[in-house]
């Protein structure tokens, strides 16, 4: 992409947020889905499968993501993810 002066523009940097709009529990899968451009339902199914296969380690991982990922404060912040 080039601006009006013919200089190269950097694409906007993606940021990872917990979704405040597309959430079931804490918005982790909704935020990851927006960041990686994947349907959050696919991530939720994969997360449940991971939890079953790993004897509950998926729950711990979800809790860690919940603590680490910042919550999207407003719609504009969440829109920057996409």
Report the pLDDT averaged over residues 2-27: 78
Angle between helices 40-53 and 28-36 (to 10 degrees): 120
8 φψ region: left (φ > 0), alpha (ψ -120 to 50), beta (else): beta
**Contact present, 33 and 39 (Cβ < 8 Å):** yes
Give the number of residues written for the chain.
82
Question: In the numeric block, which tokens belong to residue 29?
Answer: 């899968």
Report the pLDDT averaged over residues 9-31: 85
Predicted confidence at residue 4, as pLDDT, reads 66
Within 8 A by CB and 6+ apart from 51, the residues are 57, 58, 59, 62
């Amino acid at each position: 992409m080039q601006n009006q002066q013919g200089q190269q523009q950097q694409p906007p940097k993606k940021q990872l947020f917990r979704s405040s709009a597309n959430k079931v529990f804490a918005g982790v899968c909704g935020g990851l889905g927006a960041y990686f451009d994947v349907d959050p339902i696919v991530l939720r199914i994969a997360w449940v499968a991971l939890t079953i296969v790993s004897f509950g380690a998926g729950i711990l991982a979800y809790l860690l993501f919940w603590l680490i990922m910042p919550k999207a404060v407003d719609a504009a912040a969440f829109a920057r993810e996409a």
